[in-house]
Structures are given as structure tokens and as C-alpha cells.
């Protein structure tokens, strides 16, 4: 059985169609990530699945239940980290975990959770006195207090410094180890790349690509890119023939796109050694998730650029 | 009702009690808020009773001022801890997203709100006891056993009325920053025309009629009636009970409407 099943999901607000017929499944134990720019509809979908919003059309099932029905059974089995959500400011970390734990029939102990999110030193500190990162970790602990089967994480590391992000990633990976299903939204490519088993890229309310991060947008099937600087007094046509999809030079910078990067590299470096040439800034790379993402969501990026230009004027 | 439902209901009532306990703990830990909701009425009591304590009220057959003022300030205190405090804190909890978070937990919404109401009732009871104690020891003002019924009816009905109104009004308060201003606008003028700070027996008729429509006057008047040494009978004043009862219905309707609002789309 799948943890989440969504088909033809639509959400309309007056004139605006925020989600336009989205379909996907999330398997039990999977880390699934919605990736997309702000305003793409990630949070709307997440909040429909969490039961906070109604849907305008389509089907949705979470742990076999309809999230719109607002069943207590579902809230017992789901943990939620909302994007920005306060807690009772004048209760301590320990008291909050104890209080929220009581709401569930099966809960995890405050001690265990405090250790998991490394808030040991803050156990007796009021929520009001926690730093941003500590609050986010408390959010995570509170989401896990009912020992949920499925955890929703809506942009869990937005506003974190790099070190805090690494820590949060480690915690999320630890959750996967416990067999939890995780539904994640983010606009950070590296976060999706590191954590997710599968990524769905969203743009303007639609899923435009879906798959494991390494295969997304045919990434694994794309040619590798070899780059280097053409040595002085050397022209592009002096290079040896190599199997390539594309070969071009911008000034002295050479780009070769090829499905046989090992062979192409060997032939070019052999040629360079033979002529006793040094190839400055020589590199071989596979297109990154970011390249694919920018290409997929390109239209939106162009829109943003236009907006920035308009603001400058 | 079957066994499963009974067990689950018993559990939810237990959760309500726990919630009340946590709310109480949080309330007293925020000293600034506790001061305004709790100590302000006590402070007014001491100040006014010290200034006007020796006066008597000619329009009320020479009633000592304190016998009028202590129940009046008690009414103000009840309004502060039930109406004011619930409205401000609920608006803050809504703006901070705490209500939304609570909605995502298995705790039933009624159980959460009942816990909060129970907690504000405890605060109200403590404040009432303190006002009664200071009134008795400091100014020899007290309720006779004959009119205790009237006192309890006013206390319970008034608290219920202002608690539900306090939660219900949050729907009309756009943001928590505006809450104190909106609430003061709603309540402060009424306290002046409703005989809380001074006797309003001789004020213009239309102003008196305006005051009599609202629950501030009804609560103050009901308590003053029960405290008055000259009152005969049970101390229950039908008019006041009627006004408070009607406003309680308004409060319950407003509160249910607020609670039914889906918080995700608010």
C-alpha cells in the first residue's frame, strides 16, 4: 500500500488555480520531495494532505484515509512540521513535549525526543527564549511525539545556517532509518538531492518532472561535459576527433558534450601530452540537479529576471 | 453510547483537565500578562476604596460607597480575566499559528477550548476570592448568606457570558496587535456608563438605557444587588439575569462560529 495517493488534485482560489491536476504516489518508507520555486503550489498540496485545506477537485488519500474528513485516527498517525508555526511561548521544551505527547494514544518519551533533536541543554527553557534553529528542532520533535508513520516537513531548513542544515539532514536521515515515510517540500536543490528517494518538480501548480534525483529530467541519460581552456596558439580544429554530441568554444573556453566521457578525456589528454600542452581548468562533469531544475523551471526564472529588471527601472 | 465511546470520552475529559493545568502554568509564568489581567482590578479596588471609602450614596438610601464599589470592581475583574484575557490570548495564539498547530494534533478542538475556559475560570475564581477577602478584611464589605444565591448566579452567568464573548470576538479582531485597542473600545466606555467606577443613577435616561442593553451593566448591577445589605430575598435580579442570558447565547453562537472556521484558510 502507498502512504499517499493523489490523482487529479485541483485547488482553486477565486480566479487563481493554485494546483492544476496533480497526481503522484508516495510509497511506505519513501522520502518524497516536492521541489519548486515559491508560489509553485507546494504548500497548498501539503496543507491539503495535512487536512488544513479543502481540495476543489480530484482524489487524495493519506494512510488510506481522506485528509478532508479530518479524522482523529489520521492525526494520531501523522506528524506535521508547518512552515512557520508558534508554540505556547511560556511552557518549557520538556513541558511542551509532555503536553503534546498526552494528545496521542501512543507517544514517544520527551527524553528520547530531546536527545534526538539535541536540545538536552534547553529542556527547562521556555519556548520564547529559544533561537530560530532551536525552535525548528523543537518543531521536529513535536511532530515526532506521536510516533507517526508519516511525517510532513514543509521547508524544514529554510532560514538555517549551513551547519544547522547539515544537522537537520542527519536527523531526517535518522527518521528514514526508523522506517517513517517522509513528505518533504523545499526549494533547495541540494536538500532534495541529499534526502529524497524521489523528487517531483513543480512549476505554476503542475508537476513537470518526477523521478529519483539522479534520473530527473533524463539527467542520467544526458551527455557529460568536458571543459578546458584552449592553449595559446592552438585552434579548435587542431583538437583530435572525439565522439561528441557537441563541441564548441567561447573565446578560449572549450565545451565538449559527450556520452563517452572516459574515451574522450583519454584522447584529449593523450593529444595534450604528445604536444606537451597544459589544459588549464580541465574538468569533466555530469549535469547537476540544479542544471536540470533550472532548465525545467526556466520560464519561471525568466519571469523573475524580468521582474527584477522592472524593479530596477 | 457504547463502551469505546465512553472510554474515549473519559479520556478526552482527562485531557481537558490536563490542558487546563498547562494553561494555568503558562498564564502565571507570563508575569506581565498576569499582572494586567489579575492585579489591575485589585489595584483599582485599593485606590478607589481609599479615596471614596468614607462616602455614602444618597440615591441609594445612604448605602456606603464601598458596598457599591467592591462588587462593581469585582465585575470589572471578572470581565478582565474572562473577556479581555481570553480574547487577547486567543488572538495571539491564532496569529502565532498555535491554534493551527493544535488543529493538527489528535486533541479534539472542544477539549482544547474547554481546557482554556477551565483555566480562565480558575483565574477568575482566585481573583474573586481575593477581592472578597480584601473587601471583607479591609472594608468590611461582604455578601450575606441570604443573598449568596444571587451572588453565585451573577458570578457563573457573568463569567460564562464574557468568556464565550471573549473567544467569539476574536473573529472580528484582524490581528493580535489591534486586540487591546479593539477590546478597550468595546468595554471601557461601557464601564463608565454602567456604574462600575461611580454611581450612574442620575445620568441621562438615554445613556442609562444604552448601558442597560449591554452585559457590563447587568453583571455589575447583579453583583451590587447581591452585596447590598438592604436587599431582601435571594439576591437574584431577574432583569440582569435575562440580559446576561441573552448575551451568553450571543457569545456561544459567536464562539462556535469562530471555532468552526478552518484555520488553514483563515
Taking 80 as the threshold, does the pLDDT of residue A141 lie above it?
yes
Taking 80 as the threshold, does the pLDDT of residue A149 lie above it?
yes
Q: Which of A105, A101, A103, A104 is nearest to A114 (CA)?
A: A101
Of B22, B30, B262, the CB nearest to A99: B22
Give per-residue pLDDT as tens, A293-303. 887 777 545 55
Flag residues of chain B having pLDDT under 50: 264-266
Q: What is the pLDDT of residue B253?
A: 95
Please tell me the total number of residues recorded for chain B in this structure: 266
Give per-residue pLDDT as tens, A19-40. 999 999 999 999 999 998 888 8
Give per-residue pLDDT as tens, A42-59. 999 999 999 999 999 999
pLDDT band, residue A308 (cuts 50/70/90) = low
Q: What is the pLDDT of residue A64?
A: 94
Taking 70 as the threshold, does the pLDDT of residue A312 lie above it?
no
Give per-residue pLDDT as tens, B14-29. 999 999 999 999 999 9
Q: What is the pLDDT of residue A177?
A: 84
Q: What is the pLDDT of residue B79?
A: 94
Give per-residue pLDDT as tens, A86-100. 899 999 999 999 999
Exposure string over B93-111, b if 16+ CB within 10 A, otherwise e: bbbbbbbbbbbbbbbbeeb
Q: What is the pLDDT of residue A309?
A: 64
* Probe site for chain B from A46, A69, A84, A102 (most B CB atoms < 10 A): A102
Q: A52 to each of A9, B43, B169, B261, how far by Cα in Å?
A: 15, 44, 23, 11
Residues 202-241 of chain A whose Cβ lies under 8 A from any Cβ of chain B: none
Contacts of B25 in chain A (CB under 8 A): 90-91, 95
Contact A89 B30 (CB under 8 A): yes
Arithmetic mean of pLDDT over chain A: 88
Contact A86 B106 (CB under 8 A): no
Q: What is the pLDDT of residue A178?
A: 81
* Alpha-carbon gap, residue A146 to A157, rounded angstroms: 22
Q: What is the pLDDT of residue B199?
A: 86
Distance of CA B257 to the CA centre of its chain: 20
Q: What is the pLDDT of residue A305?
A: 59
* Alpha-carbon gap, residue B85 to B79, rounded angstroms: 8
Q: Which of A193, A208, A211 is nearest to A295 (CA)?
A: A208
Contact A88 B26 (CB under 8 A): yes
Q: What is the pLDDT of residue B84?
A: 92
Taking 80 as the threshold, does the pLDDT of residue A217 lie above it?
no
Query: A148 CB near a chain B CB, below 8 Å?
Result: no
Taking 80 as the threshold, does the pLDDT of residue A218 lie above it?
no
Q: Are strands A206-211 and A31-35 parallel, antiparallel or unpaired?
A: unpaired
Using CA coordinates, name the residue in chain B closest to A144: B105
Contacts of A126 in chain B (CB under 8 A): 29
Q: Which of B150, B132, B172, B109 is nearest to B239 (CA)?
A: B150
Contacts of B96 in chain A (CB under 8 A): 85-86, 89
Q: What is the pLDDT of residue A307?
A: 60
Q: What is the pLDDT of residue A245?
A: 83
HSE-up (13 A, CA, CB side) for residue A260: 9
Q: Which of B233, B189, B224, B230 is nearest to B66 (CA)?
A: B224
Using CA coordinates, name the residue in chain B closest to A100: B105
Q: What is the pLDDT of residue B106?
A: 94
| Beta bridge partners of residue A249, listed in sequence order | A254
Q: Identify the domain containing residue B253 by its residue range.
A: 3-265
Q: Dump the DSSP string for B58-94.
A: GGGTTEEHHHHHHHHHHHHHHHIIIIIHHHHHHHHHH
**Do A217 and A208 meet the contact criterion of CB atoms below 8 Å apart?**
no
Q: What is the pLDDT of residue A288?
A: 79
**Do A109 and A67 meet the contact criterion of CB atoms below 8 Å apart?**
no
Grid cell of B131 as nine digits: 477581592
Pure H helices in A126-241: 132-144, 162-177, 189-195
ipTM: 0.86
Using CA coordinates, name the residue in chain B closest to A152: B104
Contact A76 B106 (CB under 8 A): yes
Helix axes A93-102, B3-29, angle to 10 degrees: 160
Query: Which residue do the cell numbers 435575562 mark?
Result: B242
Grid cell of A194 as nine digits: 541529499
Contact B96 A102 (CB under 8 A): no
Contact B262 A100 (CB under 8 A): no
Give the residue-averaged pLDDT of A250-259: 88
Please tell me the pTM assigned to this model.
0.83
Contact B262 A54 (CB under 8 A): yes
Tell whether the torsion through CA atoms of B23, B28, B33 and B37 is positive or negative.
positive
Taking 50 as the threshold, does the pLDDT of residue A289 lie above it?
yes
Residues on chain B bordering chain A, Cβ-to-Cβ distance under 8 angstroms: 15, 18-19, 22, 25-27, 29-30, 93, 96-98, 100-101, 103-108, 262-265
3-class DSSP assignment, residue B241: helix
Contact A85 B22 (CB under 8 A): no
Grid cell of B70 as nine digits: 467592591
Amino acid at each position: 500500500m502507498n502512504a499517499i495517493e493523489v490523482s487529479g488534485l485541483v485547488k482553486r482560489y477565486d480566479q487563481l488555480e493554485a494546483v492544476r491536476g496533480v497526481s503522484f504516489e508516495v510509497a511506505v518508507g519513501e522520502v518524497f520531495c516536492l521541489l519548486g520555486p515559491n508560489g509553485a503550489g507546494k504548500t497548498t498540496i501539503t496543507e491539503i494532505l495535512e487536512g488544513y485545506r479543502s481540495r476543489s477537485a480530484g482524489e487524495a488519500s493519506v494512510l488510506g484515509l481522506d485528509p478532508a474528513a479530518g479524522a482523529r485516527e489520521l492525526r494520531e498517525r501523522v506528524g506535521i512540521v508547518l512552515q512557520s508555526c508558534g508554540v505556547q511561548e511560556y511552557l518549557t521544551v520538556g513541558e511542551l513535549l509532555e503536553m503534546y505527547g498526552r494528545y496521542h494514544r501512543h507517544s514517544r518519551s520527551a527524553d528520547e525526543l530531546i536527545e534526538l533533536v539535541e536540545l538536552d541543554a534547553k529542556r527547562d527553557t521556555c519556548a520564547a527564549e529559544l533561537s530560530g534553529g532551536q525552535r525548528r528542532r523543537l518543531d521536529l520533535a513535536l511532530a515526532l511525539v506521536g510516533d507517526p508513520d508519516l511525517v510532513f516537513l514543509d521547508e524544514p531548513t529554510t532560514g538555517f545556517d549551513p551547519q544547522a542544515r547539515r544537522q537537520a539532514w542527519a536527523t531526517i536521515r535518522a527518521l528514514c532509518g526508523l522506517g517513517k515515510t517522509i513528505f518533504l517540500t523545499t526549494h533547495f536543490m541540494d536538500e532534495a538531492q541529499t534526502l529524497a528517494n524521489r523528487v517531483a518538480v513543480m512549476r505554476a501548480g503542475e508537476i513537470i518532472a518526477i523521478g529519483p534525483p539522479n534520473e530527473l529530467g533524463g539527467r542520467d541519460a544526458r551527455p557529460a561535459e568536458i571543459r578546458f581552456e584552449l592553449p595559446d596558439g592552438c585552434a579548435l580544429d587542431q583538437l583530435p576527433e572525439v565522439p561528441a554530441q557537441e563541441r564548441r568554444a567561447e573565446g578560449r573556453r572549450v565545451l565538449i558534450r559527450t556520452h563517452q566521457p572516459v574515451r574522450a578525456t583519454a584522447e584529449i589528454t593523450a593529444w595534450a601530452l604528445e604536444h606537451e600542452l597544459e589544459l588549464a581548468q580541465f574538468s569533466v562533469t555530469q549535469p547537476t540537479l540544479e542544471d536540470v531544475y533550472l532548465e525545467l523551471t526556466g520560464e519561471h526564472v525568466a519571469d523573475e529576471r524580468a521582474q527584477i529588471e522592472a524593479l530596477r527601472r | 453510547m457504547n463502551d469505546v465511546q465512553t472510554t474515549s470520552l473519559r479520556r478526552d475529559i482527562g485531557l481537558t483537565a490536563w490542558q487546563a493545568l498547562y494553561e494555568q502554568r503558562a498564564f502565571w509564568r507570563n508575569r506581565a500578562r498576569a499582572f494586567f489581567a489579575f492585579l489591575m482590578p485589585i489595584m483599582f479596588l485599593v485606590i478607589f476604596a481609599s479615596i471614596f471609602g468614607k462616602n455614602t450614596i444618597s440615591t441609594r438610601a445612604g448605602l456606603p460607597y464601598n458596598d457599591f464599589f467592591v462588587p462593581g470592581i469585582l465585575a470589572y475583574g471578572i470581565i478582565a480575566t474572562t473577556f479581555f484575557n481570553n480574547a487577547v490570548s486567543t488572538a495571539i495564539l491564532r496569529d502565532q499559528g498555535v491554534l493551527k498547530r493544535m488543529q493538527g494534533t489528535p486533541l479534539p478542538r472542544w477539549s482544547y477550548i474547554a481546557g482554556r475556559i477551565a483555566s480562565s475560570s480558575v483565574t477568575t475564581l482566585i481573583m474573586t476570592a481575593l477581592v472578597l477577602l480584601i473587601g471583607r478584611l479591609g472594608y468590611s464589605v461582604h455578601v450575606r448568606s441570604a443573598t449568596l444565591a444571587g451572588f453565585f448566579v451573577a458570578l457563573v452567568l457573568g463569567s460564562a457570558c464574557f468568556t464565550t464573548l471573549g473567544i467569539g470576538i476574536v473573529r472580528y479582531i484582524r490581528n493580535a496587535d489591534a486586540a487591546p485597542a479593539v477590546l478597550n473600545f468595546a468595554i471601557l466606555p461601557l464601564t463608565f456608563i454602567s456604574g462600575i467606577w461611580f454611581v450612574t443613577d442620575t445620568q441621562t435616561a438615554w445613556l442609562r438605557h444604552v448601558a442597560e442593553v449591554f452585559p457590563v451593566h447587568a453583571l455589575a448591577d447583579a453583583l451590587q444587588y447581591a452585596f447590598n445589605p438592604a436587599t431582601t430575598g435571594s439576591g437574584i435580579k431577574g432583569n440582569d439575569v435575562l440580559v446576561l442570558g441573552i448575551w451568553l447565547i450571543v457569545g456561544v453562537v459567536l464562539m462556535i462560529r469562530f471555532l468552526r472556521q478552518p484555520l488553514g484558510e483563515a
